[in-house]
Amino acid sequence: MNNLFSSTRFFLTVFFVGLLFYSDCQCTTSSNITTTYAQNNGQDGIMFDLFAINDITVSCFDVNWDPGTFNYEVYFKSGTAQGFQTNSGAWTLVGSGSGVTSAGNGNPTPIALNSSVGVCSGELVSFYITNTGAGHANLNYTNGTSLGNVFVSDANIQVREMYGKAYPFSSSYSPRVFNGTIYYDGGSCAILPIELIDFQAKMIDNRWVDLRWKTASEKDNDYFVIERSIDLDNWEFVFQVDGAGNSTQELSYSTKDLKPYLGLSYYRLTQVDFDGQSTSGKIRSVEINPKNGGDLSIYPNPTSGKLKISGNKEQLKNLQLFDSAGQKVRINILASGCHNVTIDMSDLTLGVYFFRSEDRTYKIVKM
């Protein structure tokens, strides 16, 4: 599924191209525009504005990184970055990658998007390209002239100065100039199937998650899917909620996850058209404190073999074990009592597993 939702009422184009991978070559597009590779500064990331003179579709970037390796994230929003440089809720993750080796200072290092991003004529949008914090090669940029200044342009787009950024959505440094190349095609623009106003995931009473979202309009919208994840890589289906089909009025949706993961987890909202095309976007994080009197006690965790689970009779009566892909795993029970169950995980492969009780999901690490 591609990853893009518009959070404001602008028209965008999303062309699903699958997950793209690059090594030492750029993606193939009809046009590109380069700012500069003459860096004199740098940080974790850079925000810049892009104004479309004509309809375009952005497919990938080359970026000027310090020597070394890095994990990266690319975010997008409609409208300028100015005023939203620390507001993570205004941005949508549209690309990510890990273990990329930089070509070194002053040289282009290709990075991929998870989906192409279409921008209609007359629309102003912004991108945020960043590493994922300490230990990763920094991104290079150039000190600029003023926020919003057009640093470079061609017949189709303008690239404007914005912010250098500490990860994630932290300290800002301005004005700064993106160092790199934008690869794009021209000539098409379409309306998103929905205009998403907001998506929220909130922990309630440290036990369940309240999920709410709003749309300003909908076109051929069949349904929404809510997924959850603990690592932003592996996603598990949670709910499906019917859409309105076609609407020009503001609509509100809500649902609840009564068996969330303990600890930090993520929720993703995906929209599906009547023709089966899907658009994924806003991701929200929730953290449920595992130190709660009503929880099971599971130890040792991580474990290399035997695992002891303690709780009340109701909690223990329907335990299920799943692997990281969501597949049910047979439990080898060594002992069972009113308040304790001992299982053997020694034959299972190393990795992350999940125990589900009647009302909770627990993360277990087999080592």
Return per-residue pLDDT of the chain as tens, 367 residues: 333 333 333 333 333 233 333 334 457 889 999 999 999 999 999 999 999 999 998 989 999 999 999 999 999 998 899 999 999 888 888 889 999 999 999 999 999 987 678 888 888 999 999 999 988 999 999 999 999 999 999 999 999 999 999 999 999 999 999 999 999 998 766 555 677 778 899 988 878 899 999 987 787 889 999 998 877 777 888 999 999 998 878 899 999 998 888 777 889 898 888 888 777 667 888 887 655 445 677 878 888 888 888 777 766 777 888 887 778 888 877 767 667 788 888 888 888 888 887 667 788 888 8
Q: What's the DSSP call for residue 349?
A: P
Cβ proximity of 29 and 17 under 8 Å: no
Buried b (16+ CB within 10 A) or exposed e, 322-334: bbbeeeeeeeeee
Distance CA 55, CA 119 (A): 6
Structural domains in the chain, sorted by start: 12-186 (2.60.120.820), 194-288 (2.60.40.10), 297-366 (2.60.40.10)
- Contact yes or no for 321/354 (Cβ under 8 A): yes
**Residue position matching structure tokens 């002891």:** 308
* Angle, vertex CA 334, rays to CA 329 and CA 339, nearest 5: 95
Q: Which residue has the tokens 């089909």?
A: 245
d(CA 248, CA 194): 10
Q: Which residue has the tokens 């990331």?
A: 45
Is there a contact between 352 and 324 (Cβ–Cβ < 8 Å)? yes
Please give, one letter per residue, the 3-state secondary structure of 128-189: EEEECCCCCCCEEEEECCCCCCEEEECCCEEEEEEEEECCCCCCEEEEEEECEEEEEEECCC
Query: CA 85 to CA 170: how far, in whole Å?
Result: 8
